Structure 1
Amino acid sequence: MRMMKAPKQISLEPEKIEELIDRLEKKSLNEDDYPLLIELIKGMVWLNLSLKEKKLSIKRLRAVFGIKTETASKLLDFLEKNDPKQSDAKSSDPDGNPTEKKKKKKGGSGHRPASDYTEARIIKIAHETLKKGDLCPDCKQGKLFNLSPGTVLQIVGAPHLQVEIYKPERLRCSLCGKTFTARLPQEIMNGTRGDRTAKAIVSLMKYRGGLPFYRQEQMQNILGNPITASELWKMTADLADQLLEIYAEMCHQAAQGKLLHNDDTTARILSIAKERKEKLGTESEEKRTGTFTTGIISILENSQAEIALFFTGRQHAGENMNDLLDLRNQNLPPPLQQCDGGHNIPKDHETDVSNCLAHARRKFYELADNHPKEVLKIIGWFAKIFANDKEGPPEEDARLKWHQEKSTPIMNQIKAYCKQLIETKQVEPNSSMGKAITYLTNQWEGLTLFLKKPGVPLTNNKDERLLKRAVLNRKNAYFYKTEKGANIGDILMSTIETCVLNKVNPWNYLLAIQEHQDKIQKNPKLYLPWNYQKHLKQEEPSHSQSCPPQPHGSSK
């Protein structure tokens, strides 16, 4: 049986379930009972199949039988629904002090201001009959002067890949038979079938937009410009080749960072899966069965640039971090590392490890059903710490002092309360709640590093958001065929996401890299996403930097 979809959320109120069981035993079902029974049966089948496929997690269970998000307001609503006594918790903080309920802001129209459209083409419209310096047509005395123009936005669309067919004229001599053919433009003669604009947009759609090649192929077919998935892949492979020096330099620069976030997620590479299947049962069989995509964000000391890196293959995040730190200057102090621990720690390099507070908070959050009173207290204290971080000063030293004053007492309160729960035997050490407390105790040094060193973030959320790009590709494209394909994806995603982190337009950057290959080969360090514009400024601005290039042969 194929894997069925997760059922709709099921409300399991004890009274209703008991009443339903009673009616089943008496064989007196109501008409309203059948939809609930159908959902319960679907839920049991889904649960059984999920366990067989090893795809079941607490998060997925809560999405069906509980709540779907981790916000405190959702938790309170859920607990109040299942236990009316929890309604008082909405009007008080963890210490029992009354709080005011904040009103939700209404959403806007969804329109963005004209200043946000930084790459829009500006079209100036002159007045039909008047110009600056003319006499006023009304009073006939004053002279006209310019005001700031009004703004009207017009959104236009076009297929993201268009095809141009060149037909050079050919002439033949009627006497000697010699043929003369019109000369094609230089870029057409020397280039590939896909030009630099095609390579850039296909890469962005695939590795930023998550649109697999086969879906791009389908779209091109119905729009009358059929381009195969294999040709689309070849375009991205060509672009990745041109980015090799940039990617290598980004790895080198990232290794020198003062702060590194890292984590990983599962990946699937068919060639590795096939290789492991062939080795199954042999002496050379690999002990490790998984493949992973590691996401690393490095924040540099001086330039304050941020670098995003992806590594997909057999290694865990800690092993990829270890390889990256092999490139680190030995004179530099150990970097700060923000992660969740476990497989994320490098083996051969020392780092100042900071553990993610959001990860520790989640371990308690998942236990809200069984320990609502205790969890609400702990979640409330965590909320205060995150609020302190949001309100704190931007300077690192001032921020450290701020947290030491505001957040140290709260962290100590959390630890003392958890210790009290164990000592008073309100919580068993081997229970789920006891294990969450054990995790908090064991990771205490890493969880409180933000109270001891400047520049330490509270969470690894930045890297979690980065890994969503890899997850999006995994969900839509399912797998990489080969390790080479995975490497191409890593190079392009790393380049694009580094542009995004540094607020650089990735479209313009990918075009510039292809246009200035000769300069990049000589010194890639000068053409990284955050500094390439400065080094191209002295040259004549290329068409790619002012507005998207027009197709060959078209006119504005």
Structure 2
Amino acid sequence: MTEFKTLSKTEIDELIERVERAIAEDLALSKADMQLLLGVLLMVTERQISLSLKDVTIHKWRKLAGIISSSEKRSAVIPDGDASNDSDGTQKSDAATSKPDGNSESTASGKPKKKPSTQKAERVIRLQCHHNHDELKAGQLCPECGHGRLYIYQPVIRVRIQGEPPLSAVEHIFERLRCNSCGAYFTATPTDDFQQDGGMNQLYGYSARAIIALHRHFAGLPLHRQQTLQQILGVPLTASSLYDQTQSVANDGFVVFKALKQRAADAPHFNLDDTPNRILNQGTILKPDRRSGQLKSRSGTFTSGVIATLESGQQIVLYQTDIGHAGELIDEILRLRHPGLPKPTIMCDALGWFVADSDFTFLI
């Protein structure tokens, strides 16, 4: 590492004058001057390489060049005249504790105001590709100078964001052996990643099914549009096949929904509400009235939401979209409640269709 030597402006001017005189009169420089010039040359070369590789920022370069101090002590940042000492020896600055208009940065409660987080999400590298030299190897003679030996150095890393279809087909070829005597077959064992993504004869992996469902119900991408996109990108899939995979995810998720419903039934506290929604092919149906039990024509579609707070403080959030209100959903949940438990407390709007069966609950 280059050692820094601080020169005043006068010393620099004198050095330049000696160098110019040596060039004009064809004279030799002193050993001290040559050492200074060699240090400057090494420093410039080192900084040039660092900047070309983009592995050092301008602020870091200013520190390395000795232009600014690398110390993190407060005394190196705030001059003595700009800070006042307390009785305990700590320094405080009026400018650091108040805004330009005189208002304090602290809140009314006296606590410091919390600044919003500026931390960026960490980029996840899914795949690493290694590019090796085809001709050069470690230990060979340097092709540039012909004297030195090559050795392994820090690699150059470049991140490239690549585009690919949402779904891609991967052909897995398993080696298979056969006995020439008995005719028995021996097939290679699949990798762990292959087995975790589905069965041996499963065409659509679990990851593919999850992506299809996310695009449809989270990104709002219709199945026919997914079909067109896949066809454009060279991996054609029909909308009916995509629907089948989405239905498979829904069937697996419904088991989890039922288990959460059973677990939520024993909660001591519930919050519920609903909001109008729309199902395109949903028509009028006959549904029993909650009070009289008589069939009534119903057509209003609502998404009902229930938050069940367990004894442990954990919360289970359940949604259901159908022709019905939140009160009917909470009735379904409470019918699964274990007998002998005390009545739960429900918080909801004071509307008739929100009120659960009085045999089940205390109302707030």
- Tell me the TM-score normalized by structure 1: 0.31
Q: Which has the higher contact order (CA 8 A, sep 6+)?
A: 1
Pair member with larger Rg: 2
Report which of the two has the higher share of strand. Answer: 2
Q: Structure 1 or 2: larger helix share?
A: 1
